[in-house]
Amino acid sequence: MLTHLFKLIWNKKKQNFLLMTEMFVSFIILFAVFTALVYYYQNYHRPMGFEYDRVWKFGYNAPREISDPDSMAAFRGSVRQLIRSMPQIEEVSFSSENIPFGNDNNVGGVNYYKKNVGADKYTVDDSYSAVLHVSVKEGRWFSKEDDAAKEKPVVINETLKKSLFGNENAIGKLIGEGGEGMGNMKIVGVINDLKDKGDFAGPHNGLYRRVDTGNYGGGAILLKVSSDADRAFESRLFKVLSSTMRNPDINIQHLAYMRTRINNIRLIPVIITLIVAGFLIINVALGLFGVLWYNISKRKSEIGLRRAVGASGHSISGQLVGEALVLSTISLIVGSFFALQFPLLNIFDLPALTYLIAQGLAIAFIYLLVMICAFYPGRQAAAIYPAVALHED
């Protein structure tokens, strides 16, 4: 029977070519759609890598009058003292403005000899990891011992480690801020990735520089507050800080709220993808269904004849499903060849696993669709009396 199937398919290669093209195109569309969905899904399930509960951001501009670094350092020291003295405050950290879930980005090059990659660059202080409960994978976080360091101490995240060094050890290596030569930044630690751009964002390279005492005017202060820090405390804090900063342009936001906000923004493309995906999938399903249905309805008299010479209804629908499965297998092999180029050539910079899962889903989906599309009209065709089927030419 299988040889018979192949003969039939081969002799109808022109018609089947169209059908296979339809299947191939459907597969490619599904592959793209599933890649996007799998990517979002994987990102959503990536660990956060830090804690944002009870973390508040205090945004400010430093007073204009302070211009030299020394007085700036002194001023910040006193602000820190002031905040720390409040019982509701557990930790305080000064940071550049690109804090988690914020709108600000600071992207630049990082290089290890000739290897150059882009990375998000953060300027933070020694208590940043404590405020956010960042877990250090290798080496250590910044500390006082870095004060005397000859090379600038930096901490990198795991993704940056992988991009620069692969599986090699990173601790102690010297890297630069883009370019080619030997760098002057020494890696002292590797931390977990922080999913700090919202739940649907993918991993990105991250470089953490230790703040140069006094060398930033504006920025953010991250505060870890205790569980009894309520609204009353928040407004008291606001008053104290605004008089200390001598600058009206300040704000307090909760990281939990900022996360929801950035997720909502990020959700828009996700939802659009979902809607488009839904339409495409329905289209693909209807298209395939139509083509298969048409092909089968054209074969009514053949079906009638087969029934007359001894085919049962089951063997007819089995044959039609079998034919469709052979055709879809051929299309899927060709389609998979194209799909595999994406991880192999690293197009779009997504993880290989994302592509492979999407490919698997697309294959499963096409098979399912083809089985339904061939089985249902096949069964219908097989259910009519052979005399009726033979009648239709």
Partner 1 sequence: MIRLQNIEKVYRTSAIETLALNSISLDIAKGEFLSVMGPSGCGKSTLLNIMGLLDAPTKGDIKIDEQRTDHFSDKQLAQFRNRKLGFVFQSYHLINDLKVLDNVELPLLYRTSSGNERKKLASAALEKVGLSNRVKHFPSQLSGGQKQRVAIARAIVGRPEIILADEPTGNLDSAMGSEIMDILLQLNATDNTTIIMVTHDEYMASKTHRLVRLFDGVLVQ
Ligand X SMILES: Nc1ncnc2c1ncn2[C@@H]1O[C@H](COP(=O)(O)OP(=O)(O)OP(=O)(O)O)[C@@H](O)[C@H]1O
In the complex, the residues that contact partner 1 under the rule CB under 8 A are 1, 3-4, 7-8, 11-12, 301-302, 304-315, 385-388, 390, 393
Q: Are 259 and 198 in contact (CB under 8 A)?
A: yes
Positions touching ligand X (CB under 6 A) are 388, 391
310 binds, among ligand X, partner 1, none (CB under 5 to 8 A by kind): partner 1
In the bound complex, what is the minimum distance in angstroms from residue 388's beta carbon to partner 1?
Answer: 7
How large is the angle between the packed helices 313-345 and 300-308, nearest 10 degrees?
130
Q: Are 62 and 75 in contact (CB under 8 A)?
A: yes
Cross-strand bridge partners of residue 152: 185
246 binds, among partner 1, ligand X, none (CB under 5 to 8 A by kind): none
386 binds, among partner 1, ligand X, none (CB under 5 to 8 A by kind): partner 1
**Which residue type is seen at 327?**
L
CA-CA distance, 371 to 171, in Å (whole number)? Answer: 54
CA R_g for the chain: 31
Q: Please, which residue, 137 or 379, has the CB nearer to partner 1?
A: 379
Q: Please, which residue, 183 or 386, has the CB nearer to ligand X?
A: 386
371 binds, among ligand X, partner 1, none (CB under 5 to 8 A by kind): none
Buried b (16+ CB within 10 A) or exposed e, 93-122: bbbbbbbbbbeeeeeeebbbeeeebebbbb
In the bound complex, what is the minimum distance in angstroms from residue 299's beta carbon to ligand X?
Answer: 19
CA-CA distance, 229 to 7, in Å (whole number)? Answer: 78
352 binds, among ligand X, partner 1, none (CB under 5 to 8 A by kind): none
Q: Please, which residue, 6 or 279, has the CB nearer to partner 1?
A: 6
Q: Please, which residue, 28 or 384, has the CB nearer to ligand X?
A: 384
In the bound complex, what is the minimum distance in angstroms from residue 301's beta carbon to partner 1?
Answer: 6
In the bound complex, what is the minimum distance in angstroms from residue 308's beta carbon to ligand X?
Answer: 15
Run of H or E including 120: strand 115-124
Q: Please, which residue, 4 or 84, has the CB nearer to partner 1?
A: 4
12 binds, among partner 1, ligand X, none (CB under 5 to 8 A by kind): partner 1
Q: Please, which residue, 7 or 84, has the CB nearer to partner 1?
A: 7
**Which phi and psi angles does 319 have, rounded to 5°?**
-65, -45
Q: Please, which residue, 203 or 304, has the CB nearer to ligand X?
A: 304
In the bound complex, what is the minimum distance in angstroms from residue 291's beta carbon to partner 1?
Answer: 17
Residue whose entry in the numeric block shows the structure tokens 């290890």: 112
Q: Are 351 and 41 in contact (CB under 8 A)?
A: no
Run of H or E including 117: strand 115-124
Q: Are 99 and 136 in contact (CB under 8 A)?
A: no
115 binds, among ligand X, partner 1, none (CB under 5 to 8 A by kind): none
3 binds, among ligand X, partner 1, none (CB under 5 to 8 A by kind): partner 1
| The pair of three-digit structure tokens given for residue 336, joined into one six-digit string | 């998979």
In the bound complex, what is the minimum distance in angstroms from residue 307's beta carbon to partner 1?
Answer: 7
Q: Please, which residue, 7 or 391, has the CB nearer to ligand X?
A: 391
In the bound complex, what is the minimum distance in angstroms from residue 366's beta carbon to partner 1?
Answer: 24
Q: Which long-range contacts (CB under 8 A, 24 or more apart) does 165-171 make?
A: 165/112, 169/138, 170/138, 170/139, 171/138, 171/139
In the bound complex, what is the minimum distance in angstroms from residue 390's beta carbon to ligand X?
Answer: 10
